[in-house]
A and B are shown apart, each in its own frame.
Chain A
Amino acid sequence: MLNFNYHGVCNGSCYDLEQIVSKCFKTLFLYTNSYKTNNLISYNKFTLKNGLTVLHHEDTSSQLCVLNTLYRVGSKDENPNHTGFAHLFEHLMFGGSINIKDFDSELQKVGGESNAFTSNDITNYYVTLPANNIETGFWLESDRMLSLAFSQESLNVQKNVVIEEFKERYLNQPYGDIWLKLLPLVYKKHPYSWPTIGKDISHIENSSLDDVISFFKRFYSPNNAILSVVGNITLEKTKQLVEKWYNDIPSQIMSREPYPFEPIQTEPKKETFAADVPLDVVVKAYHSCKRMHKDYYTTDLLCDILGTGRSSRLYNSLVKGKKLFSELDCYLTGDIETGLFIIEGKAISGVNIYEAELAINSEIALLIKEGIKIDELQKVKNKAETNIKFNDLGVLNKAMKLAYCEVLGDINLMNTEVDQYSGVETADIIALAKKILNENNCSTLYYLAK
């Protein structure tokens, strides 16, 4: 249910990796929090002279404090011939900084813990500490923003670690390489055409220390970062510590080119792969919208009505009624740039996958033709509200959401998303379904049992 499916790949102390579904990531940032009538999330925002954006939220119910650092760099910023680098770089951020040899030991010594993840759009680092020891977090995070140690040895080791991660999560799992196959079919020009782990192991192998240094200079500067401080800490103390540890870090000149434009798809795209898996799978990926587009909330509710959970249309009609699939899910990738609406189904053995796919298309046609009931829409709105509230739990969630709302460009999303969902009407849903859920806008991958 309310699981955090990390979009992308993480540094690794996540011991429950199997639970972190590699396919994609519905809820992490789709739903930012808050609830209008009570529990408004209050926050403070200020900016240092070097361009560092700082967000603060005080939670006195916790004995912890979180320091979350989001850098505006993800796999979409990589060279197409050098993919997987943003994520490899994330690993290197734990390999020692200019004044501190061992990041993790210093943190663990005062009861802290850290991790990070990389997505298409961002790289996000966090440290969680007992609130009275939070200054250690400021010391460590600011030093690695100032400069890394840049050691060849650390690079060599982390290349191996990431290659093992590639194998463990993408090659040595049934269906593990679905996204490696699907994304290049969907995107022809845009850098979302490769997953955050990279296109190929050789790209990771070929990384040099010079690449590491220039990537750091280009993207790891205070004016390209958002720092959120959440927990049992006052605004005054936050300001004092931020100024003490971050004021003297120089900003960098940022030059970014616009991402290559993905041409509008005009006809169906289909591809078939066969692998040593027990069951046939079909994945349908429709171009959708940017995370901040006005249609985003409508798209999300459409997705829930069609295929999220046991009361959804596809589940009741095709898993329960016609018994064509054993698993069937709908979700959005929720990317900052134009993302995808995904329908993914695992067929019952013996069922023809192409016929099963036609049944999905019929359900979409039925929705467009007959419309949806008011109750059906209210149901998914209520569900969205619950998700928002449950994601409010815990200082880490709140810290990550604050930073993410800021990177999206509207920090008010912390408190306005329930309203955004409430405003959607049944006609909006149908119009949107008509617009995006058609074959000319769809890439279909058949992943078949050999």
Chain B
Amino acid sequence: MNMILNRSLAPDSEALNNIKIIEGQTITLSNNVDLHYINAGTSDVIKLDLVFDGGVRNQSQNSTATATSSMLREGTKNKSAEQIANELDFYGSYFQTQCTADDSSVTLFCLKKHFASCIPYVLDVINDSVFPENELNIYKKNAQQRLMVNKQRNSFLVRRLFYSSVFGETSPYGTFSEPDDYKNISRENILSFFNDHYKNNVKYLLLSGSIDESVIKTTENVFKGLHKNTYIKNDIVTKGKSCDKVFFDKKDSVQSAIRIGRRIVNRAHPDFRKLQILNMILGGYFGSRLMKNLREEKGLTYGIYSAMESFIDDGCFFIETEINNELRDQGLTEIYREIAILRTELISDSELHLAKNYLLGSFLRSIDGPFSLAERQKILIDFGYGYDYYYEFINMINRITSIELRDLANTYLKEEDLSEIVVGHK
């Protein structure tokens, strides 16, 4: 220890070639519903998700799917909204509902010791919700108000405009609620959506946390009377544009929100995972080229990032940032310059090495803890993959070359295929 420390020399490090994934399990209940579970973590906590075909793609009128999802805690045949909230809070639990373009879910978080007390509320809500008119009116008003505030945010507007542009408004991935849509929601709409998509129509269950025999048994006993979902998902119609240019003028903005991107292959395509690596290098982490160039070298923005987004039946790639109005054109030029460099120049060995290691480390962080593992497991369930999917991804990260990445950029990141949406002031 008396040796003089050489601080300019990095300590030895190891390659990340031994990543272990705690794998989830699946059992089929007597009613044919799959119960997936993952037992992990060091804390006595449980998360239960029930997944339904209650996403935006399944609605025939705007806002119905989100309204139904939000209203699930607002009263059942047996209990009022206030009773449900009070009693679930008494057990210290959290009850959440979520509605996406593809599906919807009902989630319970609680301590293990309260699990058996809380779980009947979930059954009550998904089978016997009544959507009281008074509660619906409160929801409609408050949802409208939230939307009014959100529509003042440039970042909110730019996202909506982007999805509507690349997928088209006929696609569930490009359609959004407007204030009037909330006015038009009726209790009858919601009830019929609920009966078709929730009641006796569960897609699967997913448990994570401190899961043992007794937790599984309790879950089975409560839900064994449910019917498995028989719904056939709607096909989607995409009428998106390519190379769209939109400028939305919002006076008084001090910054412009920008989204540049395109519709692209989704997770089901073999190129998707390779594109994730290319995306990482362009804008997927703090050391990415866009972040280095626009933030760390030029100070044009607080942050810029890019992402690959996979829905069940479609996908997109985008770059997003907020930049000072006066420096917007310089920012745009730099963004396109970075994309062009990916198409024309090979990524250096040292940058590729760094990006690969960062990505592996980041994958390791994404499987730390029971709830992160459950998120990874949900992706596998929804796309029908096994855990090989992740191990192959790790192999692919290790194998991919800079030539492959340049070719990929030439196939997918041509400037003429990219749309550009800007919300700000001229």
Q: Which of B283-317 contact A (CB under 8 A)?
A: 285-287, 291, 295-303, 305
In the assembled complex, which residues on chain A have CB atoms less than 8 Å from the CB atom of B81?
310, 320
In the assembled complex, which residues on chain B have CB atoms less than 8 Å from the CB atom of A113?
285-286, 358, 361-362, 365
Nearest CB in chain A: distance from B86 CB, A:
4
In the assembled complex, which residues on chain B have CB atoms less than 8 Å from the CB atom of A56?
none
In the assembled complex, which residues on chain A have CB atoms less than 8 Å from the CB atom of B371?
393
In the assembled complex, which residues on chain A have CB atoms less than 8 Å from the CB atom of B44?
35, 38-39, 389
- In the complex, what residue of chain B is closest to A18 when comparing beta carbons? B155
Please determine whether A394 and B368 come into contact, CB atoms closer than 8 angstroms.
yes
Please determine whether A248 and B5 come into contact, CB atoms closer than 8 angstroms.
yes
In the assembled complex, which residues on chain A have CB atoms less than 8 Å from the CB atom of B388?
none
Nearest CB in chain A: distance from B180 CB, A:
15
**Contacting residue for B7 out of A99, A279, A320, A392, CB 8 A:** A99
Q: Which of B142-168 contact A (CB under 8 A)?
A: 142, 145-146, 148-149, 152-155
Cβ of A210 within 8 Å of any chain B Cβ, yes or no, is no
Cβ of B342 within 8 Å of any chain A Cβ, yes or no, is no
Nearest CB in chain B: distance from A211 CB, A:
18
Complex CA–CA separation, A361 to B5 (angstroms): 63
In the assembled complex, which residues on chain A have CB atoms less than 8 Å from the CB atom of B353?
109
Please determine whether A386 and B85 come into contact, CB atoms closer than 8 angstroms.
no
Cβ of B232 within 8 Å of any chain A Cβ, yes or no, is no
In the assembled complex, which residues on chain A have CB atoms less than 8 Å from the CB atom of B14?
130, 132-133
Please determine whether A136 and B10 come into contact, CB atoms closer than 8 angstroms.
yes
In the assembled complex, which residues on chain B have CB atoms less than 8 Å from the CB atom of A139?
7, 10-11
Complex CA–CA separation, A142 to B10 (angstroms): 12
- In the complex, what residue of chain A is closest to B148 when comparing beta carbons? A278
In the assembled complex, which residues on chain A have CB atoms less than 8 Å from the CB atom of B296?
157, 161
Cβ of B383 within 8 Å of any chain A Cβ, yes or no, is no
Cβ of A215 within 8 Å of any chain B Cβ, yes or no, is no
Complex CA–CA separation, A346 to B291 (angstroms): 36
Cβ of A123 within 8 Å of any chain B Cβ, yes or no, is no
Q: A355-393: contact bitstring with B at CB < 8 Å (1 yes, 0 no)? A: 000000000000000000001001110111110011011
Q: A15-B303, A159-B299 are in contact. Are A108 and B365 (CB under 8 A)?
A: no
Q: A130-B16, A316-B82 are in contact. Are A278 and B322 (CB under 8 A)?
A: no
Please determine whether A156 and B299 come into contact, CB atoms closer than 8 angstroms.
yes
Complex CA–CA separation, A62 to B370 (angstroms): 11
Please determine whether A382 and B92 come into contact, CB atoms closer than 8 angstroms.
yes
Q: Which of B343-370 contact A (CB under 8 A)?
A: 353-355, 357-358, 360-362, 364-365, 368-370
Please determine whether A111 and B361 come into contact, CB atoms closer than 8 angstroms.
yes
Please determine whether B299 and A157 come into contact, CB atoms closer than 8 angstroms.
yes
Please determine whether A385 and B111 come into contact, CB atoms closer than 8 angstroms.
yes
Please determine whether B145 and A164 come into contact, CB atoms closer than 8 angstroms.
no
Cβ of B252 within 8 Å of any chain A Cβ, yes or no, is yes
Q: A126-142: contact bitstring with B at CB < 8 Å (1 yes, 0 no)? A: 00111011011011001
- Contact-size category for B: 35 or more
Which of A72-80, A169-177, A258-266, A432-440 participates in binding chain B? Answer: A169-177
In the assembled complex, which residues on chain B have CB atoms less than 8 Å from the CB atom of A63?
19-20, 364, 368
Complex CA–CA separation, A61 to B41 (angstroms): 7
Cβ of B214 within 8 Å of any chain A Cβ, yes or no, is no
Please determine whether B42 and A392 come into contact, CB atoms closer than 8 angstroms.
yes
Complex CA–CA separation, A99 to B10 (angstroms): 10
Nearest CB in chain A: distance from B347 CB, A:
14
Please determine whether B5 and A111 come into contact, CB atoms closer than 8 angstroms.
no
Q: B53-95: contact bitstring with A at CB < 8 Å (1 yes, 0 no)? A: 0000000000000000000010000000110011011111110
Nearest CB in chain A: distance from B168 CB, A:
25
In the assembled complex, which residues on chain B have CB atoms less than 8 Å from the CB atom of A173?
152-153
- Contact-size category for A: 35 or more
Please determine whether B302 and A386 come into contact, CB atoms closer than 8 angstroms.
no
Complex CA–CA separation, A133 to B358 (angstroms): 12
**Contacting residue for A110 out of B13, B82, B86, CB 8 A:** B13
Cβ of A158 within 8 Å of any chain B Cβ, yes or no, is yes
Please determine whether B254 and A167 come into contact, CB atoms closer than 8 angstroms.
yes
Cβ of B182 within 8 Å of any chain A Cβ, yes or no, is no
**Contacting residue for B300 out of A160, A175, A323, CB 8 A:** A160
Cβ of A253 within 8 Å of any chain B Cβ, yes or no, is no
Complex CA–CA separation, A133 to B15 (angstroms): 9
Cβ of A1 within 8 Å of any chain B Cβ, yes or no, is yes
Q: A1-36: contact bitstring with B at CB < 8 Å (1 yes, 0 no)? A: 110000000001101011000000000000000010
Q: A111-B357, A276-B252, A316-B82 are in contact. Are A64 and B90 (CB under 8 A)?
A: no
Complex CA–CA separation, A247 to B300 (angstroms): 39
Cβ of A295 within 8 Å of any chain B Cβ, yes or no, is no
In the assembled complex, which residues on chain A have CB atoms less than 8 Å from the CB atom of B40?
61
In the assembled complex, which residues on chain A have CB atoms less than 8 Å from the CB atom of B369?
62, 393-394
Nearest CB in chain B: distance from A326 CB, A:
4
Cβ of B318 within 8 Å of any chain A Cβ, yes or no, is no
Complex CA–CA separation, A215 to B96 (angstroms): 45
Please determine whether A389 and B153 come into contact, CB atoms closer than 8 angstroms.
no
Please determine whether A133 and B13 come into contact, CB atoms closer than 8 angstroms.
yes
Nearest CB in chain A: distance from B417 CB, A:
24
Please determine whether A164 and B138 come into contact, CB atoms closer than 8 angstroms.
no
**Contacting residue for A106 out of B10, B253, B361, CB 8 A:** B10
In the assembled complex, which residues on chain A have CB atoms less than 8 Å from the CB atom of B146?
326-327
Please determine whether A111 and B82 come into contact, CB atoms closer than 8 angstroms.
no
Cβ of B35 within 8 Å of any chain A Cβ, yes or no, is no
Complex CA–CA separation, A169 to B255 (angstroms): 11
Q: Which of B238-287 contact A (CB under 8 A)?
A: 252-255, 285-287
Cβ of A168 within 8 Å of any chain B Cβ, yes or no, is yes
- In the complex, what residue of chain B is closest to A382 when comparing beta carbons? B92
Nearest CB in chain B: distance from A126 CB, A:
12
Q: A61-B42, A386-B110 are in contact. Are A130 and B301 (CB under 8 A)?
A: no
Complex CA–CA separation, A63 to B20 (angstroms): 8
Please determine whether A172 and B154 come into contact, CB atoms closer than 8 angstroms.
yes
Cβ of A352 within 8 Å of any chain B Cβ, yes or no, is no
In the assembled complex, which residues on chain B have CB atoms less than 8 Å from the CB atom of A130?
14, 16, 360-361, 364
In the assembled complex, which residues on chain B have CB atoms less than 8 Å from the CB atom of A109?
13, 353-354, 357-358
In the assembled complex, which residues on chain B have CB atoms less than 8 Å from the CB atom of A320?
81-82, 135, 138
**Contacting residue for A128 out of B85, B92, B355, B365, CB 8 A:** B365
Q: Which of A206-247 contact B (CB under 8 A)?
A: 243-245, 247
Nearest CB in chain A: distance from B145 CB, A:
4
Cβ of B221 within 8 Å of any chain A Cβ, yes or no, is no
Nearest CB in chain A: distance from B125 CB, A:
13
Could you name 23 residue pairs across A and B whose Cβ atoms are closer than 8 Å?
A1-B94, A2-B94, A13-B291, A61-B40, A100-B7, A100-B8, A111-B364, A133-B14, A135-B11, A159-B299, A160-B299, A167-B254, A168-B302, A173-B153, A279-B149, A316-B85, A320-B81, A326-B141, A349-B145, A380-B89, A386-B45, A389-B43, A395-B368
Chain A interface residues toward B at CB < 8 A: 1-2, 12-13, 15, 17-18, 35, 38-39, 59, 61-64, 98-100, 104-106, 108-113, 128-130, 132-133, 135-136, 138-139, 142-143, 146, 156-162, 164-165, 167-169, 171-175, 243-245, 247-248, 276-279, 309-311, 316, 319-320, 323, 326-327, 346, 348-349, 375, 378-380, 382-386, 389-390, 392-395
**The 10 nearest A-B residue pairs measured at CB:** A111-B361, A160-B299, A382-B92, A386-B92, A310-B85, A13-B286, A311-B85, A165-B302, A135-B11, A99-B7
Given A139-B11, A346-B149, output 20 extra A-B contacts at Cβ < 8 Å. A1-B96, A2-B109, A61-B42, A62-B369, A63-B364, A108-B358, A109-B13, A139-B10, A160-B300, A161-B299, A164-B322, A172-B253, A276-B252, A311-B85, A346-B145, A375-B90, A383-B89, A386-B93, A386-B110, A394-B368
